[in-house]
Amino acid sequence: MEATTEKMVRVLQGNEACAEGALAAGVRFFAGYPITPSSEIAEIMSRRLPLMGGHFIQMEDELASMAAIIGASLTGVRSMTATSGPGFSLMQENLGFGCIAEIPCLVVNVQRGGPSTGLPTQVSQMDIMQARWGTHGDHAIIALAPASVLECFEMTVACVSLGEEYRTPTVLLMDEVLGHMREDVVLPDPEACEVCSRLMPDEDEIDYCPYESNERNISPLAPFSGAHRFHVTGLTHDRHGFPTMVPEEVDAKIRGIVNKIELHADDLALYEEFMVDDCEVLLFAYGSTARVAKSSVRALRERGVKAGLLRAKVIWPFSGKRLRELAKHASLVVVPEMNMGQLVTEVERAVCGAVRVVKESRVDGSLFVPAEITDFVEKEMGR
């Protein structure tokens, strides 16, 4: 496949755009296991990576895939995997290892219906809370949710960059509709994609501590096989990386991996706002559902309802700042989701009872249609 240029218009699937974004972000290692509806990402990376000096490995399962990308990242290589549904569940143990060991890597989850095998070829948004709380223990995570094929590219690049900057695993929460839909896109030149580089220690630093505390709780990470030798473990560890049970050191470690992300929730927040300036009914949505919600806003406006849309691009860490501001002038907040109501709980917490919040759920493996949301809003308004 030829290198993309800024003037080249292409028709791509979301999965294809995701793979292109990973390559543009400098990902040179992929380990994974085929699973619907994410398999196209692995297939593309298996062809493209060897041509770019990178490596692709099909692992025996998703648990091993997660371990492999952590190992690759420790050598200094930007790494990723892609999965869906049950595969994301299998990754959780080693995702937790990546969180406590603070290893940058990207997990792409093209969501499908569940639980268990569920609906392998159908759409859902059922993994929102799993992305935040799937692995055990207290930790934080960065998770983004695209809503277009172009954003599948852009947010893959962003996830790689944020992982390197914050020294943490990141999650891209796509869904089956986004993964398989096709749109005309003009991809940026890969050389124009800005990706943060992880903080590195000086080569001549004598007392290198891979987990030294500082104001940002983000320490330099030396590559294995480089000038520094250091210890990595899934046990709670001290600044040298060795296991500790000293209460003060344990407390500092857990608070550090949480605070380095959660305290920057407002800085990380990204939203799309549509007709919110005078809205009395606010729709809060993300992913494919947000595309439908935007059409519903237009339809509601035609019916005389002052509706608006706030689309969350960053799901975790959840920032309620802008939501609270808009809720002050609204009488109703509607949260449509392709699950039983997962992010709606965060919306309710954010508005602190200032406005009525209602959820609209769809869990049958089908995407919302605009009329469903439009009619639901009017019913909630008593019209």
List the CATH number of the domain containing 49.
3.40.50.970
Indicate whether 277 and 364 sit together in one domain. yes
Strand, helix or coil for residue 19:
helix
Residue 383: pLDDT band (50, 70, 90) is: confident
| Apex 14 CA angle, 290 and 197, nearest 5 | 100
* Assigned domain for 235 exists: no
* Assigned domain for 265 exists: no
pLDDT at residue number 53: 96
- Give the gyration radius of the chain's Cα atoms: 21
pLDDT at residue number 377: 97
Model pLDDT for residues 172-214, shown as the tens digit of each residue: 999 999 999 999 999 999 989 999 999 999 888 888 999 998 8
What value does the mean pLDDT take over residues 360-377? Answer: 97
Domain closes at, from 192, 219, 239: 192
* Assigned domain for 140 exists: yes
- Total structural domains within the chain: 2
* Assigned domain for 225 exists: no
Indicate whether 299 and 181 sit together in one domain. no
Q: Inter-axis angle of helices 39-51 and 14-24, to 10 degrees?
A: 30
Residue 4: pLDDT band (50, 70, 90) is: very low
pLDDT at residue number 327: 93
Domain CATH code at residue 337: 3.40.50.920
Residue 294: pLDDT band (50, 70, 90) is: very high
* Assigned domain for 279 exists: yes
Domain closes at, from 192, 217, 243: 192
Model pLDDT for residues 219-262, shown as the tens digit of each residue: 999 999 888 999 999 999 999 999 999 999 999 999 999 999 99
Indicate whether 26 and 158 sit together in one domain. yes
On whether the CB atoms of residues 56 and 50 are closer than 8 A, the answer is: yes
Q: CA 300 from chain center: how many Å? A: 30
* Assigned domain for 242 exists: no
pLDDT at residue number 47: 98
Domain closes at, from 152, 170, 192: 192
Residue 375: pLDDT band (50, 70, 90) is: very high
pLDDT at residue number 6: 47
What phi and psi values does residue 21 have, to the nearest 5 degrees? -65, -40
- Domain with 138, as residue range(s), is 9-192
pTM for the structure as a whole: 0.95
H and E: helices and strands count for the chain: 13, 15
Indicate whether 62 and 187 sit together in one domain. yes
* Assigned domain for 47 exists: yes
Model pLDDT for residues 10-66, shown as the tens digit of each residue: 999 999 999 999 999 999 999 999 999 999 999 999 999 999 999 999 999 999 999
How many Cβ atoms are within 10 Å of 299's Cβ, its own excluded? 17
